[in-house]
Structure 1
Amino acid sequence: MPASRLSPAANPDARDRLLDTASLLFASHGYQAIGLRDLASHLGLRAGSLYHHIESKQGLLFELIESSLTDLLYETRQSLKGARSHDERLRCFVQTFMAYRQAHPDKLTLLTREAVNLNAEQARQVELLKSAYSALLSEIVTAECRLRGPASAPLARSIAQAVLSLLCGQVQWGEVANARDEMMRFVQGIVGAGKGAAAH
């Protein structure tokens, strides 16, 4: 069957190929630079046939970002279940992020760079997922730094945001040698500074 006649029923893998290709092209060239004709060409399809699989280009971007965040959130929660101490939970959080970044660099690039192209409702849904992910880290920070009192929540959120900025910034700068060990040391330094702030 010619590629231009593929349908979900005829080829159940067609949509997965579409998602993988879109993720790669949007991440490597930028969402704005890639049109549906470009995407279809890479898949060996006619542009019109893409609408068998997606509603719109923006909807496709949203699906890629939403699924990435959902997967990262799930994998992080799973990894935290086996942790026996606050320090181990922090290590699991960072290691899960680094492992996800290594396995899916394109998806994290879309999240950190291309979310600005979503509409207001899509952006709101992404923010809810990001807030849930950040809250996981805030809980770890609160326990690790032994934060107490009314000022603890804002401080924990600030520390968590600093850690997430570091992790997401590393996505933009690319892979470095011994990245996991180095990143863990940097994260521990940030959290350690939070412990110092909480003690004063």
Structure 2
Amino acid sequence: MARTVGSSGPKTAQSIREAGLRLIYRHGYEAMSLRQLGTEVGIQSGSLYNHIASKQALLVEIVLDHMQTLIARLDAALDGVEGPAARLEAFCRLHLTYHMTRRAEVVIANMELRSLEPDNRAAAVALRDAYETRLTDILREGAACGQFHIEDARVTTFAIIAMLTGICMWYRPDGPRSQEELIRIHTELAMRSVTGG
């Protein structure tokens, strides 16, 4: 992908981020080299430092942006939704839709936590915990009012998220089931897991 003549700094920075996302997803963080990234963008590897501080900084940006976007979208999806059942359904819809359409970001955020330096990893984990806590709060609310029958809200949170996140590993837009059908099926599974229905 050759750099466009006269491209601006912000445009090049965006190209670097997009190329980094593709390469890390395809090859893994450790295997991706800055030379490879520069070639993908169409600039010398040394010129990358005009736009990113380091390879680690690029990974941090991708992971934190993913988590911040996911949290912001969840908060918007839950805004004004009343009752634990409706809120759980809204959580499932948002989580599934995001994970079906942002596979590269999801895979990198999950698989490359190991590649983050300690402070960066702590920041990513704190955001992940904040996201998970939103679901835990929904489950606790449902249990408190008798709508949900769960033994441990945190364990149930991890189980539901693991089930819903798995869709990004096998979903294909041209598959036999539409996004809406898959959202319905997964949401029903999640609801039955907490209601016993």
Pick closer, same or farther for the CA change 1:126–1:6 going to 2, 3 Å: farther
Query: How does the TM-score come out when normalised to structure 1?
Result: 0.82
The number of aligned residues is: 189
Greater displacement, 130-139 / 163-172: 163-172
Deviations 1:81-103 (A, max 9, x none): 03233222112111112222233
Pick closer, same or farther for the CA change 1:46–1:4 going to 2, 3 Å: farther
Give the conservation status (yes or no) of the 8 Å contact 1:3–1:45: yes
Q: Which runs of 4+ in 1 moved over 6 A?
A: 4-7
Pick closer, same or farther for the CA change 1:143–1:57 going to 2, 3 Å: same
1:158-197 equivalences in 2 (<5 Å) = 158-175=155-172, 177-196=177-196
1:40-189 equivalences in 2 (<5 Å) = 40-146=38-144, 155-175=152-172, 177-189=177-189
Task: Tell me the SS of whatever aligns to 2:110.
Answer: helix
Q: CA deviation at 1:3?
A: 4.3
Matches of 1:186 and 1:98, distance apart in 2: 8
Q: RMSD of the TM alignment (CA)?
A: 2.6
1:8-27 equivalences in 2 (<5 Å) = 10-27=8-25
Task: Tell me the SS of whatever aligns to 2:30.
Answer: helix
Query: How does the TM-score come out when normalised to structure 2?
Result: 0.83
Q: CA deviation at 1:34?
A: 1.2
Q: Which has the higher helix share?
A: 1
Q: Which has the higher relative contact order, 1 or 2, with Cα contacts under 8 A spaced 6 or more apart? A: 2
Pick closer, same or farther for the CA change 1:58–1:4 going to 2, 3 Å: farther
Matches of 1:166 and 1:181, distance apart in 2: 16
Q: CA deviation at 1:143?
A: 2.0
Give the conservation status (yes or no) of the 8 Å contact 1:115–1:123: yes
Give the conservation status (yes or no) of the 8 Å contact 1:76–1:96: yes
5+ residue gaps, structure 1: none
Q: CA deviation at 1:178?
A: 3.6
Match of 1:35 in 2: 33
